[in-house]
Amino acid sequence: MALSICVAQLNPTVGDWQGNLAQALAAAAHAHAQGHSLLVFPELFLTGYAAGDLYARPRFLHDAAQALQQLQEASTQWPSLHILISHVEALDPQTPLPPDTSTLPPASQVVSLLREGQRLGAWRKQTLPNEGAFDEKRYFLSGIHHHGQPDPVIEIAGMRLGILVCADAWKAEPAARAKAAGAQALLALNASPFTHDKPAARLRMARARTQETGLPLLYANLLGGQDELVFDGHSFAMQANGQTAGHAPAFEECLWPLRLAAGPDGLQWLSENDASGPISESSANSPDALRHHATWHALTLATRDYVRKNGFSHVLLGLSGGLDSALVLAIAVDALGADRVHAIMMPSPYTASISVDDAREMVQRLGVRYDEISIRETFEGFKHSLAPLFAGRAEDATEENLQARIRGVMLMAISNKFGGLLLTTSNKSEVAMGYSTLYGDSCGGFAPLKDIFKSEAFALARWRNGHTFGLGPANPIPERIITRPPSAELRENQTDQDSLPPYEMLDAIVRLRMQEEHSAEQIIAAGYPAERVAQVFKLLRISEYKRQQSAPGPKLSARSFGRDWRYPITNRYRD
């Protein structure tokens, strides 16, 4: 006999009770029609994950309870279907304070099992992450501190299944506790954001739990973009021996069926309609190609969801004829379609004719709406107005920044008039160094490249030009855009390397500083020139005020500029 399970790898929106509930009801109807006995939702599906201080609002918690009640009542429509759903639940004010705690958090994370109008049980998340993008201890009380918390085990069709909620699976104790309570398999409900190293890390984690417990494990993950977080789905099942049995697709919604059956050595997974067979940790594709593939799909999903979930009809961006704006344009078209993208070229006296030519060629390839607005007269008008005040002073970065700010004003005016979301094109290298103009080219509501180093952007552009399956038009970026030396084109014969180290060196130094927390001395000892290290450290430090005013962008690395980077603006510390 086998237990038929459906994993609802779906894309909720924070606070969209009716939309999330509608998805849950549709998934339950599908699961019942297909004869499944258990429907599993990822972590905090009903509320959406990363709701921040909404978790502390009594009305939000009340509405969460109402949504759960509606799902519970609707479950009478699907006899014999068990629904495992994760949600938030307000704490009873009389709950005893945990040791070494002065205030009670407002809620706890709960997993409820529903069937035929009944709530058969409720289990609370035990391990609360509190680093990087996570601050769950601010909002939730661990299930460890709930008196009378039942063993995290459910029984369906004679099979005993242990429940783990995301971070619970990354520790040995919750899985061991479930096994000690009689679990024969583990169900891990997750809202695990994507980073480049996360898929492999999840497999390592799952393999550790299966080897420690001797139990098979199901990893059900959330999907979708939520501000700077990107949830990639990629749910999977792992046998007790640590071998993957199958997986759902990455970066796609699905209702993934699989079965749990008795085998000669205990329960084992039988995957149905697997996305592409067992997850392979080696591939005929190169590691770089696999990374670029995942990066591109993460960027398009994040951009699409930010636009859709925030109610924008279309996007616009300033096209310069350079790499970053070209890459953002290609991402936007793949994410939304050409009919929802507006590119605007704003040449100045310093814009090269080949920049305009390359911009025109790219928009022709992609078929997006395109407009050109010269800023020459506006720029001269500003200089004329400021001439009395600037008399006797040579032109410098002030006049360069004026051009960027004129473009920012024009783009924001178009955004205001027509209601589109302005995408900013700054990459991680520029964000790190403050190599942008505040209220100029940094204008915008979303920054797709915020966690993409410039050196990575070149490789990503080449990858996109060589891949079309499931994406937009082929070869979207003209070759000259990729091969030309990068330039802001704000003065004659300008290149980025007039102001910055070569990008390969710059990006390596920033990685060592951000990811490894290396000191200047350690980085110099690794072979980087002392003067370049000092330059990067100084620019990184003094640009904090710009970063704290920058648009959000998708987090793809282990440490990005956003929730992971929390340095003060006023800061005299030097290391």
Domain check: are 232 and 325 in the same one?
no
Q: Is residue 568 part of a domain?
A: no
Q: Residue 43 catalytic? A: yes
What would the two tokens of residue 323 be?
Answer: 């790499």
**pLDDT at residue 285 in the model:** 66
pLDDT along the chain (575 residues), means of 10: 93 95 96 96 94 91 95 95 94 76 79 94 85 81 73 90 92 92 95 94 95 96 96 96 94 95 88 49 65 95 98 96 95 96 94 91 96 94 94 90 94 96 96 91 95 95 86 88 79 71 92 92 95 94 93 94 90 83
Backbone φ and ψ of 89, nearest 5°: -145, 130
**pLDDT at residue 102 in the model:** 64
Query: Per the residue annotation, which of 125, 309, 428, 454 is the catalytic one?
Result: 125
Contact 29, 46 (CB under 8 A): no
Domain check: are 333 and 262 in the same one?
no
Q: Which of 364, 391, 348, 372 is nearest to 492 (CA)?
A: 348
Domain check: are 152 and 299 in the same one?
no
Domain check: are 327 and 206 in the same one?
no
Contact 427, 454 (CB under 8 A): yes
Query: Per the residue annotation, which of 73, 89, 116, 166 is the catalytic one?
Result: 166
Q: Is residue 514 part of a domain?
A: no
Q: Is residue 538 part of a domain?
A: no
Domain check: are 243 and 321 in the same one?
no
Domain check: are 230 and 335 in the same one?
no
Q: Is residue 506 part of a domain?
A: no
Domain check: are 21 and 139 in the same one?
yes
Domain check: are 37 and 130 in the same one?
yes
CATH code: domain of residue 453: 3.40.50.620
Q: Is residue 381 part of a domain?
A: yes
- pTM comes to 0.92
Q: Which domain holds residue 12?
A: 2-271
Query: Rounded to an integer, what distance in angstroms lies between the CA atom of residue 536 and that of residue 58?
Result: 46
Q: Is residue 511 part of a domain?
A: no
Query: Rounded to an integer, what distance in angstroms lies between the CA atom of residue 440 and that of residue 35?
Result: 57
Place of tokens 């080219």: 441
**Ordered strands of the 118-124 beta sheet:** 118-124, 107-115, 82-90, 38-40, 2-9, 254-263, 266-271
Domain check: are 311 and 338 in the same one?
yes
Contact 528, 506 (CB under 8 A): no
Cβ-in-10-Å burial (0-12, 13-18, 19+) of 194 comes to buried
Cβ-in-10-Å burial (0-12, 13-18, 19+) of 391 comes to exposed
Domain check: are 349 and 267 in the same one?
no
Q: Is residue 562 part of a domain?
A: no
Q: How many domains does the chain have?
A: 2
Q: Which of 83, 101, 90 is nearest to 26 (CA)?
A: 83
Query: Per the residue annotation, which of 6, 43, 454, 546 is the catalytic one?
Result: 43
Query: Rounded to an integer, what distance in angstroms lies between the CA atom of residue 165 and that of residue 124?
Result: 8
Q: Is residue 241 part of a domain?
A: yes
Count other Cβ atoms within 10 Å, centred on residue 25.
16
Side-chain half-sphere CA neighbours of 512 within 13 A = 19
**pLDDT at residue 201 in the model:** 94
**pLDDT at residue 471 in the model:** 76
CATH code: domain of residue 154: 3.60.110.10
Last residue of a domain, one of 245, 271, 297: 271
Query: Rounded to an integer, what distance in angstroms lies between the CA atom of residue 202 and that of residue 275?
Result: 18
**pLDDT at residue 284 in the model:** 44
Query: Rounded to an integer, what distance in angstroms lies between the CA atom of residue 409 and that of residue 403?
Result: 10
What would the two tokens of residue 286 be?
Answer: 């190169």
**pLDDT at residue 494 in the model:** 67
**pLDDT at residue 492 in the model:** 72
